[in-house]
Structure 1
């Protein structure tokens, strides 16, 4: 395992230590590694050895193996050997296919969530968005908010299968953009606010239009970057 991965693991462990509870240790490792992957702290060419990771985190191999198998099952990792993995690469076609399906499912989620949305929770998200748009925050803060908002809407739809599918599709999009120089925080904030405002009014039509435009803009930015624009 390359040294840069060791540094990333050490830094995150210092900030977020594992609390060794046997019943949830595998879950803690899974969440830790998932965050490292989606926050670009484990490069795609890094080998993730089960034994080396277990040693780094000072845990037994069984919960480490369970966490790695789970991440592979969700499409975040691919096997490189009997006991090693790497971050999965998502190509351009898979990205655009995922985004097309996201549009269908996220618009469906909005239409179902409008009448079920928790208004107090929505206002909390609106306040967080306002704080993000005004202050200086690292990239992970913006990504975590993006994740919370989209998951909040999906969960409010009441369709658990839809929630699981969107988690996977959003992970695909995130993996595609891991090495991308694209940054559109200001635009994301404005588009997210349009979605939140529609949900405040319980306006399903405006909400689906705002979500569709948001996803179109994300795709168009990638198309522009790929064309050299």
Structure 2
């Protein structure tokens, strides 16, 4: 069936609109995760439209996607704001992350198949290759991909979706955590943390997988608390449970 010129133009407009929204989304997401846009920053649709030389529609679409990621919130006057980073809730966040991470690894060790193992190993290698000074966004992104590969192996879409939202919420803290580890002479990055989880999942050792996941969460907690105690984010008081 022939396509009219008006239909072709409409199709072109949709592609341009979609690519514009993706550009805004990708740029703002990177700036939020790296804290270039600090928590609490207001995001004005008109200013963003001027910045990206787009209409407000793709900007609004990008902000809706970022809201779905938990990185942007709406305010009472219908404005958008970078989601606050509430460090005071860190102990509660860690409690929840620990439970989810342990369950994900338990199920993955029980239910994983050869394709899952291949994906887990690929993402583990990608993370290891990303490790380096000033490469913190790539480190946090590849770290998330590794953990989501494990989540996929758990074969539980409800748990996987919940786990993804936890990882999204914690990604800015992870960025700060990596910066602290890579730039502090007192801290070091143990490259075997992921290896223990991978080995246990490959071996179908359910208890070892859960223990490795718990130890991984605990190490992140302890490092981040040391980061806070050194005054990098003054004004917050966080104590481990």
| Aligned residue-pair number | 210
Secondary structure of residue in 2 paired with 1:167: helix
For 1:3-22, what aligned pairs fall within 5 Å after superposition? Answer: 20-22=15-17
1:147-201 deviation digits (Å, cap 9, x = unpaired): 1111111122122222222222223323456667862365353312221222232
Distance apart, 1:214 and its partner CA: 0.8
Q: 1:37 to 1:161 in 2, by over 3 A?
A: same
Selected match of 1:207 from 194, 206, 209: 209
Change (3 A) 1:180 1:144: closer
Give the direction of change, closer, same or farther, for the CA distance of 1:154–1:177 in structure 2 (3 Å limit): closer
Q: Does 1:183 align with 2:184?
A: no
Alpha carbons of structure 1 residues 180 and 198: separation in structure 2 relative to 1, 3 Å: closer
Match of 2:112 among 113, 116, 121: 116
Q: Does the residue aligned with 2:74 lie in a helix, a strand or coil?
A: strand
SS in 2 for 1:78: strand
5+ residue gaps, structure 2, are 1-13, 183-187, 232-241
Q: Tell me, in whole angstroms, the C-alpha distance in 2 between the residues paired with 1:58 and 1:28.
A: 11
Q: CA deviation at 1:216?
A: 0.8
Q: Give ranges in structure 1 of 5+ residues lacking alignment.
A: 1-18
Deviation at 1:86, TM superposition (A): 2.3
Q: TM-score, normalised by structure 1?
A: 0.76
CA distance in 1 between partners of 2:85 and 2:133 (Å):
30
Comparing 20-29 with 124-133, greater Cα deviation is found at: 20-29
Aligned equivalents of 1:36 and 1:227: distance in 2?
A: 25
Out of 53, 56, 81, which is 1:58 matched to?
A: 53
Q: Distance in 2 between matches of 1:59 and 1:188?
A: 44
Q: Structure 2 CA distance, aligned partners of 1:125 and 1:181?
A: 18
Deviation (angstroms), 1:47: 2.5
Largest Rg, 1 or 2: 2
Which is worse superposed, 156-165 or 120-129? Answer: 120-129
Deviation at 1:219, TM superposition (A): 1.3
Shift of residue 209, structure 1, vs aligned partner: 0.8
SS of equivalent to 1:187: coil
Distance 1:110 1:155 in 2: 10
